[in-house]
């Protein structure tokens, strides 16, 4: 095996540290919600398994690969392997549906009573603080770990005085262009609402986007690091939509509104938190999703065609990591 160059060593160590702290803090949070009876045991177990599988998959497609024994201390590895053996057997052959932070965000939303933006962001802020990683030389690296979502978005539908509950989503929370592209492909093929997958696929092909029903509202919040003496903490600040979101969602009402003279972002269509949040809105509000489907019934190319293109892209990405998809069960089911 060729020795790692310094930058590769740094990336590998960052991924190891990030994986370890994310698993520990997620386990702690999920177990506390189960103890408080805000989360039933079965759902808690499923969330833990999904987080583990997603992180192990990300480690596996790293170059060179990182395995669970690299990530977990011996005792924790033994305990988790005994409880969830299928996770340790499937991350090399089955695909995740979403990044780890998106799973954790769903736990936060499910266990936070009224789904208010303030309450959700307060919990996420605390989790971000708990996941700060101290470098070996004694400095903090803040929230610069591999699984932190830079942006969280909230969406809802309101018409005629009737408002839905809030739905939340996170930006794609894994570092590296290749891993990010893989998770966007997975979302378009498997995870997102059909209307959202159609919108992102069309945008990436430079076609006119879909139309959503008027009265879809979206708010976004960017996590920011604040220094307090020798320590860091995190706050969320309101964020205007980027140009990509304005193109994908031309008739969504954003708050705060778009700003003038924006540069085109360097990231891919589908990376933004708004995509997951609006997808969750459409999945949660069937009438809104059906109205969107009716509005876009005559769109060409079809979602089936576009998903075929995404399948081809996904296989190309995975082949570079020698990842072989199991035909009969491509996606991991916790």
Q: What digits encode the pLDDT tens for the residues 211-247?
A: 999 999 999 999 988 877 667 788 899 999 999 999 9
Helix, strand, coil percent values for the chain (each to nearest 5): 50, 15, 35
Query: Average of pLDDT values for 306-325?
Result: 88
Percent of all residues in the chain with a pLDDT value above 70, rounded to a whole number: 93
Query: Average of pLDDT values for 61-85?
Result: 93
Query: Average of pLDDT values for 285-310?
Result: 92
CA dist 203 and 235 (Å) reads 31
Say how many CA atoms lie within 13 Å of 237 toward its Cβ: 5
Give tens-digit pLDDT for 7-35. Answer: 677 778 888 888 999 999 999 999 999 99
- Choose among 278, 234, 271, 270: nearest CA to 253: 278
What is the residue whose two structure tokens read 């590895």?
77
CA dist 23 and 29 (Å) reads 10
pLDDT for 1? 47
Domain boundaries, the chain: 6-319
Angle, CA 197 vertex, CA 196 and CA 199 arms, to 5°: 65
Confidence band of 173 (pLDDT split at 50, 70, 90): confident
Mean pLDDT, all residues of the chain: 89
pTM of the model as a whole? 0.93
What is the residue whose two structure tokens read 């924790």?
76
Confidence band of 143 (pLDDT split at 50, 70, 90): very low
Confidence band of 327 (pLDDT split at 50, 70, 90): low
What does residue 64 show for φ and ψ, rounded to 5 degrees?
Answer: -75, 160
Query: Average of pLDDT values for 145-170?
Result: 92
Res. 292: pLDDT tops 90: yes
């Amino acid at each position: 095996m060729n020795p790692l160059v310094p930058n590769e060593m740094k990336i590998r160590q960052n991924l190891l540290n990030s994986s370890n702290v994310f698993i520990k803090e997620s386990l702690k949070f999920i177990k506390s919600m189960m103890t408080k009876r805000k989360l039933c045991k079965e759902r808690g177990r499923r969330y833990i398994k999904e987080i583990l599988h997603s992180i192990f998959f990300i480690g596996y497609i790293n170059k060179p690969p990182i395995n669970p024994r690299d990530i977990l201390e011996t005792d924790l590895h033994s305990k988790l392997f005994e409880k969830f053996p299928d996770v340790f057997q499937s991350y090399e052959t089955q695909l995740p549906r979403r990044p780890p932070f998106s799973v954790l965000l769903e736990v936060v939303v499910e266990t936070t009573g009224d789904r208010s933006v303030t309450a959700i962001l307060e919990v996420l802020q605390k989790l971000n603080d708990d996941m700060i990683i101290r470098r070996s030389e004694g400095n903090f690296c803040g929230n610069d770990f591999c699984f932190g979502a830079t942006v969280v978005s909230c969406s809802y539908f309101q018409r005629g005085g009737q408002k839905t509950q809030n739905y939340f989503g996170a930006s794609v929370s894994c570092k590296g262009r290749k891993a990010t592209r893989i998770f966007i492909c997975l979302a378009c093929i498997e995870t997102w609402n059909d209307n959202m997958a159609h919108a992102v696929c069309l945008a990436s092909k430079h076609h006119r986007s879909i139309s959503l029903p008027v009265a879809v509202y979206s708010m976004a919040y960017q996590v920011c690091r604040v220094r307090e003496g020798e320590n860091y903490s995190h706050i969320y600040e309101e964020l205007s939509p980027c140009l990509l979101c304005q193109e994908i969602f031309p008739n969504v009402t954003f708050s705060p509104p778009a700003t003038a003279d924006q540069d085109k972002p360097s990231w891919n269509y589908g990376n933004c938190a708004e995509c997951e949040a609006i997808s969750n809105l459409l999945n949660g509000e069937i009438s809104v999703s059906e109205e969107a489907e009716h509005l876009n019934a005559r769109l060409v190319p079809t979602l089936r065609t576009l998903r075929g293109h995404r399948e081809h892209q996904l296989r190309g990405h995975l082949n570079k990591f020698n990842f072989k998809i199991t035909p009969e069960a491509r996606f991991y089911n916790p």
